[in-house]
Amino acid sequence: MSKLPIQTLPNSPEERGLSKVHFGIAKIVAKERYREFCRLTLHLPQIAQWTQPGQFVNIYFDGLDSNLRFERSSLPMLSILPRPFSVAKILSLRKGEIKSEAPQAFSVLFNIRGVGTNWLAQLTADVPIKVAGPLGKGFWLPEGTKTAVLVAGGIGVAAFPFLAETLKAQDIDTILLLGAQTKEKLPFDPVRAEFPVINKNGKPLSYWSVDEFESAGVRSAIALDKPEEGFFAGTVVQLFETWLSNQKEREGIVVYGCGPKPMLKALSEITLANKLHCQLSLEERMGCGIGICFGCPIPIKGNSYKLCCLDGPVFDAIEVDWEQYISRNS
C-alpha cells in the first residue's frame, strides 16, 4: 500500500456538499480481528476516491458467493437493516492487478456485539458484499486552526485515523486522546509513547499511546476508567480537561469528538465553557442512510431537528439540544 494524494478538509460546514452515493459490490481484501473488534478493508474505488473524513458507508448483509448465509427469517427488522460504519481509513493498493496511486480501498472498524457485526466478522477475504457510500457530511477545518484535539471514547476512535492523516497532511498539530473502561476494551493496542502528550511539568499524561496513531507520527494518550500503571486514571473527558489546563495559548485549538452520548455532552459543555470550537460525530440507528426514512433525527436547539444521515453525522457541538438528545436515548 502506497502513499495517497493529499486531501484537504473544507473550511466551513456549508462547504461540505453531499457526495454522489455509489451503490456497489466491494470485495474484502483484508481482515483483522482482535479481542472484540474487527477491521475490514474493502476494495471499491468509487467510494474510496470520493470519501471525506467523517463520512460513513452502509454495509448490507448480503455475502454474495459466500457459504456463510445471513439468516433473516427469525430476526426483527432492526437486525436486517444495513449498518452504518465510519470510514476509518482510505488506502491505495499495490496488489495483484491493482497498481494505482489513486484511492482504491477503505477500511471500517467495529465492535463485535450483535447478530449483524458477528456475521460480518466471520466473513473472509475475497467475499463480495453490498456497500453504499460515501454517505453524510463529515468534518471541516475552521480557518486559523493550529491544533486539533481528537477525543474518542472506545470504538468512537474509528472515525479518527482518516481525519488524523488528513489534518497532519495539512500541517495541523494533531493530538489523539482515547478513553476506555479497561485496557482490554481498547480498539487499538497500546504502545510505549515515543511522542508523549505532556503536562506543564514536562511529564507524560500517559506513558502509553495508540499504535495506529503513534506509527503515523500523531501524539496520543490513553485514559482508563479502571486505573492501571502508566495510563491516565479517569475518563477521556478528564484527560482532555487536564490537557487543556496545561495550555497557556488556546487560540486556534479545535476539538473533534466521537464516542458515547454522555461523554459527548460533557465534552460539549467543557468546550463551550472555554470558548473552543467543537465538532462531534454522532451515532444513531439508521434505516436508509440517505434521508428518506427520517429514522435518525437529532434534536437541535430552537425546537428543531436535523437528520444524522443527511445533515451529519458530524455536527457543531453548540447546535445540539443535549437535554432532549440524552433524555430521548436514556
If asked whether residues 128 and 36 sit together in one domain, one would say yes
C-beta separation of 319 from 305 below 8 A? no
One domain, residues 131 and 18: yes
Q: Are residues 253 and 157 in the same domain?
A: yes
- The set of residues, in sequence order, having a beta carbon less than 8 Å from that of 228 and lying 6+ positions away, is 182, 183
171 and 131 in a single domain? The answer is no
- Does the residue 320 lie in any domain? no
CATH number of the domain enclosing 162? 3.40.50.80
Bridge-based pairing of strands 37-43 and 98-111 is antiparallel
Domain-embedded: residue 270: no
CA dist 172 and 167 (Å) reads: 5
Asked whether residue 262 is domain-assigned, the answer is: no
Same domain, 17 and 128: yes
Domain boundary among the residues 222, 257, 292 is at 257
Max avg pLDDT among 70-79, 110-119, 188-197, 275-284: 275-284
Instruction: Confirm whether pTM is higher than 0.75.
Output: yes
Whole-number pLDDT of residue 4: 52
Q: Verify that 169 and 230 share a domain, yes or no.
A: yes
pLDDT in tens, 140-164: 999 999 999 999 999 999 999 999 9
Q: Quick one: pLDDT at residue 327?
A: 83
Based on the domain organization, do 30 and 54 belong to the same domain? yes
User: Strand 277-281 and strand 314-316: pairing?
Assistant: antiparallel
pLDDT digits (tens, 9 = 90+) for 261-291: 999 999 999 999 999 999 999 998 888 888 8
Q: Give the pLDDT score at 97.
A: 54
175 domain residue, yes or no = yes
Looking only at Cα atoms, what is the longest distance across the chain?
60
pLDDT of residue 61: 81
In this prediction, what percent of the chain has a pLDDT beyond 90?
Answer: 71
Is residue 81 domain-shared with residue 151, that is, in the same domain? no
Range of the domain at 183: 147-257
The sign of the torsion formed by the CA atoms of 228, 189, 39, 134 equals positive
| CATH assignment at residue 49 | 2.40.30.10
- C-alpha distances (whole Å) from 23 to each of 20, 53, 72, 240, 247 are 10, 19, 21, 39, 45
In a domain, 98, yes or no: yes
- Number of C-beta neighbours around residue 123 at 10 A: 18
In this prediction, residue 94 has a pLDDT band, given cuts at 50, 70 and 90, of low
Residues 178 and 228 in one domain: yes
CB atoms within 10 A of CB 65: 10
* Same domain for 114 and 79: yes
Is position 293 within any domain?
A: no
Judge whether residue 99 has pLDDT over 90: no
Tell me whether residue 268 is in a domain. Answer: no
Final residue before a domain boundary, out of 85, 106, 135: 135
* Domain end (from 84, 109, 135): 135
Same domain? For 122 and 22 the reply is: yes
Q: How many structural domains compose the chain?
A: 2
Res 19: pLDDT: 80
Nearest to 43 by CA among 31, 61, 34: 31
Specify the pLDDT at position 101. Answer: 66
